[in-house]
Amino acid sequence: MLFSNRMINILIPIISVVLGLLSGAIIMLVFGYNPIEGYAALWNGAFGDSYFLGETLRQVTPYILSGLAVAFALRTGLLNIGVEGQVFVGWLASVAVGISFDLPMIIHLPLAILAAALAGAFWGFIPGILKAKLGVHEVIVTIMMNYIALYISNDIVRNVLTDGEDRTAEIAPSASLASEWLASMTYFSRLHYGLIVALFMALVMWFVLNKTTRGFELRSVGFNQNASKYAGMSVGKNIVLAMVISGAFAGLAGAMEGLGTFGYMNVKSGFTNIGFDGIAVALLGANMALGVVLAAFLFGTLKIGALNMPTEAGVPTELVEIVIALIIFFVASSYIIRWAFLRFKKEGK
Amino acid sequence: MDYVIEMLNIRKEFPGIVANDNINLQVKKGEIHALLGENGAGKSTLMNVLFGLYQPEKGEIRVRGEQANITDPNIANDLGIGMVHQHFMLVDTFTVTENIVLGSEPKRMGQVNLKRAEKEVQELSERYGLNVDPRAKIRDISVGMQQRVEILKTLYRGAEILILDEPTAVLTPQEIKELIDIMKSLVSEGKSIILITHKLKEIMEVCDRCTVIRKGQGIGTVEVSETNPTELASLMVGREVSFSTEKTPADPKETFLSIKDLRVKDVRGVEMVKGLNLNVRAGEIVGIAGVDGNGQSELIEAITGLRKTESGDIKLHEKAITNLTPRKVTQSGISHIPQDRHKFGLVLDFPVGENMVLQSYYNEPFSKNGVMNFKNIYKKANELIEEYDVRTPDAYTKARALSGGNQQKAIIGREVDRSPDLIIAAQPTRGLDVGAIEFIHKKLIEERDKGRAVLLLSFELEEIMNLSDRIAVMFDGQIVAEVKPEETNEQDLGLLMAGNSTSKAGGE
Ligand SMILES: Nc1ncnc2c1ncn2[C@@H]1O[C@H](COP(=O)(O)OP(=O)(O)OP(=O)(O)O)[C@@H](O)[C@H]1O
Ligand SMILES: [Mg+2]
């Protein structure tokens, strides 16, 4: 036996990324840019100095949480395309709590974070209950919920939290995740304490799914609803719970932006893509907590590092986006690579 | 030499296990060749090697005398090898024809030519007496019919050599008779068949030769006309096997399960159980005999809480359990060996060990305060694997990787171990080898002797006759007769099952 299954699960994402980078290099070559310079610029833009490193880590933070949200749902057999909308309501809720109260930090900050989680959870609860009770497919509902979230959030920012303005007030310092210490260590990047929250939640996901009876039920229902019902588990309850927990992770991703990076919420013309990128992060991370953390790290690196490619290597932004899209493409199509692998192993089945 | 297939010194390994160890199999043209072996002996593996799904570590395959390198099923198809897997691979919402042509559609100007395909399927079906309607949707036809569709699929692709992996395990006795006729007509047209089955009677009836494998090793090939079931069984197991189960007369005590006037509808809303009455007492095995589709599945699903009842009472120990949730039913002391082990019995993607605690994971010592205790879970799992002779590399192996028979043994171990008051065993020995059947029957009788009640559902009259202390004949949603096995025979039972209550063995 050449490779064990475990090895394959680790190798496939790595190969996907390498293939993505290679084809990105080819595209750059074809259009007359030097791929080595391009990737060097990407590297410098992500890790070149401590400011860039701070920004990269800041970007990684919401990706970890949105990736966990998608991964958690997938592990329980659900496709949560609504992470994007759940991020929106989480962001909104955290900022609403952040600007509306004047409390000691020890209460205010946890309260704002909790509000985000609850808002996301509620946004996940709706498709969950519709699936459990009426059998409506969660993909359809979650997609629609994304638009509802976008437009409701905009309306609330404009007409409830402000008087017709495009952005809310700054949250109270007592609700902020921003850290002078982290910022000063990284030449005043926007790095904040949220990274700790995100890493902690990865641990939570691992623990819940793998170590608790609840996680056992959730995974069981994800694999085989009939057998789960036979075994006395409540399929409907577990579906709803899975969507609620997934939504809570997504809501927390919104809090990272609301309480950490920005400190306010503004009217948005379109999606943030944090939620959609979460799908790719989860795929690349093989739906495992540690995998998601690593994949989020890669995505954050690409997103931030790419900003440096036009200035340092002259690669136009459009091309940079193509390169990133290619990497995502190879990751998303990793099943092709898996298939090729299995053929190579000549195992089939 | 006139061998169509020769597999020589085949070796196939899986992590931690040698599934095939130097096995030889030579099939003559125009014969039905049986492949016999215990559960997990490596039969399916060997056939998957021949069909190109697995690559052997060692060995040589020759097709019609020429060496072949079968690296994928398409090559097998091109060589005229077709396989019907035990678990069908059909698209439910497609028609018979659409399923058959899937992947090799006849095209006309880029368009699938279904008309032509339909005609071809019809012709094939008539030629071999398959009696399949090319336009029926898969979800509307019986399991037996679906199997014929699988056979047609291989014929449509030009198969000359057919591999049938346990085709009769899922069929009713009538369907088995028909399949045997089909196989005979196939070989009379010059095709060759490799048949995997655990039923020695079938081998004796249709096969020309039989190759026996034991624990991955080839034991040899015998002429069926020169052997008998007893010899085959001992070749395969490596010891003497007794066919009829020894048991003392039952000593039934108080009534455990009582069902009154039960009515249950199926998924389509059609009433399948129509005012059924039945009692099962402590210390007896009650066998339900009946033709498939007379409400047996709905009855069992209603007792176990998987399906809502329309009206009527189900009581266990005088306490109503009607329409309780499956968990409450389990807790009240009922175990259930389900008819469909892949659909209900196991989470195939969970390790064997976790499947062993599928209903009890939330109890101590398997978990405490909501946190799983995997050490205790696997300790228990290893005990069950040992006691019930579940052949698996270890308890961490996914249930999916186990051979069909060993999956069944794992379920039975789990269900019997729970020390329930009532065991509902639906087709408990489906797909098991004779040795394993003997073992399971012994276990069920042991449980009976401990004072438990056993409700047995089986489509095999032999099993019903052997195991039951009392037989309840089910027809059209009702128990139409109750008979003692020693006072009846298979013929009379057959008549009763067909709804013929005037038979002399009848009576309430
Ligand atoms: N994909 C796989 N991965 C690991 N082990 C496997 C795999 N497939 C089969 N095995 C192991 O190989 C052995 C032979 O299995 P196989 O399915 O060939 O048995 P079988 O003779 O068909 O048994 P049955 O009559 O129960 O179907 C078993 O011990 C099984 O656990
Ligand atoms: Mg098999």
What is the residue-wise DSSP string for A295-317?
Answer: HHHHHHHHHHHHTHHHHHH---H
Cα dihedral B299, B303, B307, B311 sign = positive
What lines the ligand 1 site, CB under 6 Å?
A: B 14, 17, 19, 37, 39-45, 391-392, 401-406
H-state helical runs in chain A = 5-30, 35-47, 50-75, 83-100, 105-134, 138-156, 180-185, 194-211, 213-223, 225-230, 235-255, 274-284, 289-306, 308-313, 317-332, 334-345
Q: Which of B330, B327, B326 is nearest to B305 (CA)?
A: B326
Atom number, ligand 1, closest to the C-alpha of residue B406: 26
Q: Answer whether B374's CB lies under 8 Å from A216's CB.
A: no
Q: State residue B247 phi and psi, 5-degree precision.
A: -155, 150
Buried b (16+ CB within 10 A) or exposed e, B39-71: bbbbbbbbbbbbbbbbbbeebebbbbeeebebe
Distance of CA A61 to the CA centre of its chain: 8
Q: Give counts: helices (H), strands (E), chain B.
A: 16, 24
Asked if residue A268 is part of any domain, the answer here is: yes
Asked if residue A124 is part of any domain, the answer here is: yes
Q: Which of B256, B248, B250, B243 is nearest to B470 (CA)?
A: B250
pLDDT number for residue B1: 56
Q: Which of A220, A226, A234 sits opposite B344 (nearest CB)?
A: A226
Distance of CA B323 to the CA centre of its chain: 29
* Residue type at A245 in one-letter notation: I
Closest chain B residue to A348, measured at CA: B53
Q: Say which residue the tokens 């009696």 belong to.
A: B131
Q: B24 burial class (0-12, 13-18, 19+ CB within 10 angstroms)?
A: middle
How far, in Å, CA of B405 to CA of B408, rounded? 5
Quote the DSSP letter at residue B345.
I
> CB B359 to CB A231 under 8 A?
yes
- The distance of A130 to chain B (nearest Cα, Å) reads 21
Half-sphere exposure of A64 (CA within 13 A, CB side): 27
Rg of chain B on CA atoms, in Å: 24
Atom number, ligand 1, closest to the C-alpha of residue B405: 26
A5 C-beta neighbours (distance < 10 Å), count: 12
Name residues of chain B where pLDDT drops below 50: 503-508
Which residues does chain B have within 8 Å of residue A347's beta carbon, measured at their own beta carbons?
Answer: 54-55
ipTM of the complex: 0.85
Residue nearest to atom 17 of ligand 1 (CA): B403
Pocket test for ligand 1, best of B44, B215, B217, B434 (most atoms within 8 A of CB): B44
> CB B345 to CB A230 under 8 A?
yes
pLDDT number for residue A254: 97
Residue nearest to atom 25 of ligand 1 (CA): B39
Interface test with B, best of A230, A234, A342 (most B CBs within 10 A): A230
Q: Which of B497, B495, B458 is nearest to B475 (CA)?
A: B497
Q: Architecture of B3-237 per CATH?
A: 3-Layer(aba) Sandwich (3.40)
pLDDT number for residue B210: 96
How far, in Å, CA of B72 to CA of A347, rounded? 10
A321 C-beta neighbours (distance < 10 Å), count: 11
3-state DSSP assignment of residue B417:
helix
Q: State residue B305 phi and psi, 5-degree precision.
A: 85, 5
Asked if residue A309 is part of any domain, the answer here is: no
Q: A181 burial class (0-12, 13-18, 19+ CB within 10 angstroms)?
A: exposed
Token pair recorded at residue B71: 């690296």
How far, in Å, CA of B217 to CA of B37, rounded? 10
Q: Which of B13, B358, B372 sits opposite A231 (nearest CB)?
A: B358
Partner residues linked to B12 by β-bridges: B20
Q: Which of A315, A233, A261 is nearest to A44 (CA)?
A: A315
Q: How many domains, chain A?
A: 1
Strands B422-426 and B453-457: parallel
Atom number, ligand 1, closest to the C-alpha of residue B47: 18
**Dmax of chain B from CA atoms?**
74
pLDDT number for residue A1: 41
Name residues of chain A where pLDDT drops below 50: 1-2, 346-349
Q: Which of A223, A232, A349 sits opposite B330 (nearest CB)?
A: A232
pLDDT number for residue A3: 56
B223 C-beta neighbours (distance < 10 Å), count: 10
Structural domain for A278, as ranges: 60-286
pLDDT number for residue B108: 62
Partner residues linked to B10 by β-bridges: B23
- The distance of B344 to chain A (nearest Cα, Å) reads 4
Geometric angle at alpha carbon A126, from A121 and A128, rounded to 5°: 85
Give CA torsion, residues A84, A89, A94, A99, to 10 deg. 130
Token pair recorded at residue B300: 């069992």
Q: For residue B46, give the H/E element and its range.
A: helix B43-50
Q: Which of A212, A227, A348 sits opposite B347 (nearest CB)?
A: A227
Q: Same CATH topology for B3-237 and B244-333+421-507?
A: yes
Asked if residue A197 is part of any domain, the answer here is: yes
CATH of domain B244-333+421-507: 3.40.50.300
How far, in Å, CA of A154 to CA of A266, rounded? 7
pLDDT number for residue B506: 41
**DSSP string covering B199-241:** -HHHHHHH-SEEEEEETTEEEEEEEGGG--HHHHHHHHHSS--
Q: B110 burial class (0-12, 13-18, 19+ CB within 10 angstroms)?
A: exposed
**Closest ligand by atom to B20 CA:** 1
> CB A223 to CB B349 under 8 A?
yes
Q: Chain B interface residues facing chain A, Cβ-Cβ under 8 Å?
A: 13, 15, 48, 52-55, 71-72, 304, 306, 325-328, 330, 336, 338, 343-350, 354, 358-359, 361-362, 367, 370-372
Percent of chain A with pLDDT over 70: 94
How far, in Å, CA of B50 to CA of B38, rounded? 19
pLDDT number for residue A128: 97
Asked if residue A162 is part of any domain, the answer here is: yes
How far, in Å, CA of B232 to CA of B227, rounded? 7
How far, in Å, CA of B53 to CA of B56, rounded? 10
Which residues does chain B have within 8 Å of residue A75's beta carbon, measured at their own beta carbons?
Answer: none
**Closest ligand by atom to B396 CA:** 1
pTM confidence score: 0.85
> CB B48 to CB A219 under 8 A?
no
Q: Answer whether B190's CB lies under 8 Å from B30's CB.
A: yes
Q: Answer whether B34's CB lies under 8 Å from A20's CB.
A: no
